[in-house]
Each structure stands twice: as C-alpha cells, then as structure tokens.
Amino acid sequence: MISKDDLLLKLWEHYTSQNPSVKQVYDLFIAEGEEVVNDHIAFRTFDDPRVNIDVLSQPFLKAGYTEKGQYTFEAKKLFAKHFEHQGDPLAPRVFISQLKTGEFSPFLRETASRCVDAIPASLLGADELVYSGNVWGTPSFEIYETLRQESEYAGWLYVNGFQANHFTVSVNFLKKLDSIQKVNAFLKEKGFRINDSGGEIKGTPAELLEQSSIRSEMIHVRFIEGLKQIPGCYYEFARRYPDTDGRLYPGFIAKSADKIFESTDFVDGTKKG
C-alpha cells in the first residue's frame, strides 16, 4: 500500500514535470508569500470495469479516503465521484470522473477497450496505475483527432492516460490573493490565460463554491505520426464558502465542473499569453 503523502507526491511530480506552467504558477504563489494548499485533484478514466472509478479510487480508499458525493454530466456523458480524507482536513479532495463509453460511437467504444486491453497485467489493479500516465503505448494522432470530434475528454484521456488532470489551489488558504478575482487578475498580469468558457469564474458565493482555471498549455507529445503540440493539464483555483451551519461547503457543482472540463479543449491560442 502506498501512503497518502507518497501518492500525492508522485502525482504532483508527474503533473509538474509534464506541465511546466503549473510549476511556474506554484512558484509565483510561493514568491508572493502564499501557502499553497490543494482543494482537490481530478482524474479521468473510461467506465471499463478494469479501470473505472471503483478501480482508480482503490489506492485513495486504502490511504484513508471515503466516498462523499456523486455527479452526472449529461452533455459530456460523464459520471463522477468525489472522495475526502478522513482525519486530515488539509488533504485534497479526490475527484474521479469516467466517460460513459456506451453512449458513444462504436469507434470510441472499441478504441477505449483496445487501450485497456493493452495495459500491462502488472498494472491492472495496482496502486501505481493512477500515476502511470499513458499505459497503452504511443498514441496515433489520427485516432486522437477522431476521438476529439466526439469527446475532447476522450481525446485527452487517450493521449495522457492516468495522472492528475489538474490540481486545484484552495483560495481559502491564500492571504493576499484571497479571492478568485484577485487570483485571476494576478495570473493574467503574469501572462496566463484564464479559461473563460461559461465566464472566468464558475459558481457564486450563493452556490458556496467559486472556481476558475488557467487554460492548459500546449505540450509536445510523441505520436506514431511524429511530435505534435496538444493541450496538456491545467491548474484550477477554488474558493469555498460556509453554509448556514458555518461549515465550508465540501462538494462540487456539476454545472461549474462541466465548464471547467473544457480547460483542456483544443482551442486557438491555447498557449499561455
């Protein structure tokens, strides 16, 4: 069994090594004297019973997490669960979504099955699967492009596999940059691009959760057809508000997350700046 701290460290290392802009943002916060505490980490997977949410959540459950909420995203054809750590209130929530492959074309379904078939047996059911990245071999750019026409989520997952799709900074713990508005203004001034699908800020204080994110940077990925630039991961920011009992709202808002998912969409000018 891998401990919570080791698991989070492996995920952070994998995430920052592939997405240098995330480390730049992290370093900018630290340079401002801020303490960076993670609100949540998110993962993507297929609903194949060999790699679905129930499988990917295993290392977290063993490390002290329990299931807390379920979400459905009709338009994007996703189902998700969130998990919280029992005992460590500073541990990030874990949000895992899975693509409902049965609602897509035979091409997408078969591609998903073929990917899972190609996972080495030693990784199926292993704790390290969740930070192993692409475990089905060098992707095809043609397949990636075809998947994206049906689901940007599927295209991203096909190329990137199992890893944190994003970490999320808890704005509640920031001292100077203590609102989403301030965080967004700070990052824009530093040359980052905020995902403005559905507005730069998703959610409202009345909904008890506000979120924003920078758009994924373009990363170089080796495809069968050669090296290409495609969107990588993104960094998210969340501010939670207390409910009438004075307790910070712990869950997620489906309609906000729906727009946040689009941070990895392949759009013109995805590059920072």
Question: Binding residue for Ni ion (CB under 5 A) from 34, 236, 258, 262?
Answer: 236
Residue whose pair of structure tokens reads 């799709």 in the numeric block? 165
The C-alpha atoms of residue 255 and residue 235 are separated, in whole angstroms, by 18
Question: Binding residue for Ni ion (CB under 5 A) from 2, 42, 108, 187?
Answer: 42
Closer CB to Ni ion, 221 or 238, in the complex? 238
Binding residues for Ni ion restricted to 89-148, rule: CB under 5 A: none
Q: Which stretch binds Ni ion (CB under 5 A): 40-48, 56-64, 126-134, 200-208?
A: 40-48
Closest by Cα among 178, 153, 232, 177 to 32: 177
CA 123 to chain centre: 21
Q: Which stretch binds Ni ion (CB under 5 A): 7-15, 39-47, 130-138, 185-193?
A: 39-47
Binding residues for Ni ion restricted to 150-169, rule: CB under 5 A: 168
Q: Which stretch binds Ni ion (CB under 5 A): 23-31, 113-121, 138-146, 236-244?
A: 236-244
Give 198's DSSP letter.
T
Other Cβ atoms closer than 10 A to 102 = 9
Q: Smallest gap, in angstroms, from Cβ of residue 167 to Ni ion?
A: 9
Binding residues for Ni ion restricted to 162-201, rule: CB under 5 A: 168
Which secondary structure element, helix H or strand E, spans residue 39, and what is its range? strand 38-46
Other Cβ atoms closer than 10 A to 172 = 13
* Interface contacts to Ni ion, rule CB under 5 A: 42, 168, 236
